[in-house]
Structure 1
Amino acid sequence: MNILLILLLNLAVGACIGLTGIAGFLLPMFYTGFLGMPAAESLALSFSAFLISGILGAVTYYKEGNLEIRPAAVMSAGSLLGALAGVKVNLLIPEDVMQIILYLVVLISGASILLRKGGGVGSGSGAEKLTGGRKAAYFLLGIVTGTVCAASGAGGPVLVMPLLTLLGFPAHTAVGMSLFNSIFIALPAAGGYLWNSAGNRELFLLLVPVLAAHGIGVAAGSRNAKRIDQNLLKRIVAVGSVAIALVKLFL
């Protein structure tokens, strides 16, 4: 029964990630909170799934013209370094502290999107020419988000997507960029947590069906994402970010 629940959840979460970029944080919550799985094993399964969702989602969004490669690549270079540090930080800083940091940022990002006036979708600074200053800013943003996400168990888009929207990128482009970015968070994070779980043979047997279910969900979600209006998608992500953060911080 537990295996069936894991597969169904990965299918559903994968579809949500493909549509909006967010929802990946539900996986480690389910593994540790509901199944009582050790943290390292929970994060190993979660970040392995995030790697698949990042690859499949980014490819689909790129084909649809909703992925700004240059700023995403600069940010992802920072995220790769941040994620390497984040795996080590996870062993040094209590997980509940990292969770508080993560969801405070998510809350502020989502609230800022809702309160922001003017500067229509995609017309903000994020869509402008990539200057040296912007490269440095995106790289630093990647380091910070990569560290926080790898240490806390968030896949990346739940934090990165609302931040990119706040910077002025169109909502669909922000999802595509956050999924691309999540590859570079998930790669070192999955490797590190899988290494720490190397003695668990059952975990590695479970890995293939979990990734298959997650991949099917992501593919279905990302192919239908273009049907959602940009402004509607931005509001969905903003409201979802605020709601998720409040629930995690106060309940």
Structure 2
Amino acid sequence: MITPILLFSIVICSNLIIGVLLGMSGISGFLLPLIYVGLLDMPVHDSLALSFLSFAVSGIIGAFSYWKSKNMDIKLAILLSIGSLPGAFLGVQINVLISDFMAKLLLYLFVLLAGLSILLKKNNETNKINRSILLNHSFMVILLGFITAVICALTGAGGPILLVPLLVSLGVHIRKAVGISLLNSVIIALPSIYGYFAHASLQNTSMLIIASLLGTIIGIITGTRLANKVPIHHLKMMIAIITILSSAYMLVMLTVGS
């Protein structure tokens, strides 16, 4: 039985650590719902409500920091966000309609695939890639924002885990890709927060929100300040290994429990 004090401590520590990682690399936010659902055994909708609240806060602070350091493409971010807003609404509605087992299964599978993609992805921070002509077509960028938002809102992945590698592969510098993705994660989070809190049955709601916000704010501020001081490739590899092991374990436990 987890006491309220222990629950508060776990939530604040989880958000603090993941906030730091998110500020440095733009990824790892997808680990939050994994902790809430897997470690704390919270209902799926409760977990996603708290997770997207953290994504919104970390996205605002992180995006502002990357904008100040001139690592932001505002036009590209706006076009992606135009598609992401309705995409996030659709993703939440799909999640609400499916069973808890299916929602957990999708979450764990997506997190596992995300970890594998990070592990197998080559480090392109110093390798320049020509900017894709796809990014010159507004409709295609909006469509990209819509599709990624549906997946992220449905699974609780946040946003950057999909958008960062996609943008980098299309020729966007990795630092700008992180900044754009953090801003886009705010747009995905807004309808997700509304949708999941409407279906949540949170106990100690105020306490959990305070713990979540406090940990996230401290973590993301720390992470953005460390962003240029830590080799991003090594950081990603560490996140990938933790992600793969934890999601694989939760998949096994879910199938055994069913």
1:66 aligned residue (68, 71, 78): 71
**Distance in 2 between residues matched to 1:18 and 1:156, nearest whole Å:** 14
**Distance (whole Å) between structure 2 residues aligned to residue 164 and residue 68 of structure 1:** 11
Q: Go from structure 1 to structure 2 and tell me whether the alpha carbon gap of 1:137 and 1:27 turns closer, same or farther (over 3 Å shift).
A: same
Query: Equivalent residue of 1:125, what SS?
Result: coil
* Structure 2 partner of 1:78: 83
Paired with 1:141 and 1:21, the residues of 2 have a C-alpha distance of 18
Partners in 2 of 1:88 and 1:73 — Cα distance? 23
Aligned position for 1:171: 174
Task: Give the counterpart of 2:149 among 143, 146, 149.
Answer: 146
CA distance in 2, matches of 1:241, 1:200: 29
Q: Secondary structure at the match of 2:228?
A: helix
Alpha-carbon spacing, 1:145–1:102, altered in 2? closer, same or farther (3 Å): farther
* Equivalent AA in structure 2 for residue 203 of structure 1: T
Equivalent residue for 1:99?
A: 107
The reply to whether residue 204 of structure 1 matches residue 200 of structure 2 is: no
Greater shift, 101-110 or 160-169, is seen at 101-110
Give the Cα separation in 2 of the matches to 1:143 and 1:129: 15
Summarize the Cα distance change of 1:205–1:2 in structure 2 as closer, same or farther, 3 Å threshold.
Answer: closer
> How far, CA to CA, are the matches of 2:159 and 2:97 in structure 1?
20
Q: Distance in 1 between matches of 2:214 and 2:41?
A: 23
Equivalent position of 1:189 in the other structure: 192
Aligned pair partner of 1:19 in 24, 34, 38: 24
1:125 counterpart (116, 124, 131): 131
Q: Helix, strand or coil for the counterpart of 2:157?
A: coil
1:49/1:211 contact within 8 Å kept: yes
Cα distance between partner residues in 2 of 1:171 and 1:102: 22
Structure 1 residues not aligned, in runs of 5+: none
Range with greater deviation from structure 2 (47-56 or 97-106) = 97-106
CA–CA distance in structure 1, aligned partners of residues 39 and 244 of structure 2: 20
Question: Aligned in 2, Cα 1:226/1:108: closer, same or farther, shift over 3 Å?
Answer: same
Aligned to 2:224, which of 198, 222, 226? 222
1:213 maps to 2:221: no
Farther-moved stretch of structure 1 (45-54 vs 92-101): 92-101
Corresponding pairs, count: 241
Q: 1:209 to 1:2 in 2, by over 3 A?
A: closer
* Structure 2 CA distance for partners of 1:243 and 1:63, relative to 1, 3 Å: same
Q: Deviation string for 1:81-123 (max 9, x for gaps)? A: 110000001023421453366357636754774298xx96454
Q: Percent identity?
A: 35
Give the C-alpha shift of residue 236 in structure 1. Answer: 4.6
Residue 58 (structure 1) shift: 0.2
Counterpart of 1:48 in structure 2 is: 53
TM-score, structure 1 length as denominator?
0.84
Deviation at 1:221, TM superposition (A): 0.5
Aligned to 2:255: none
Match of 2:44 in 1: 39
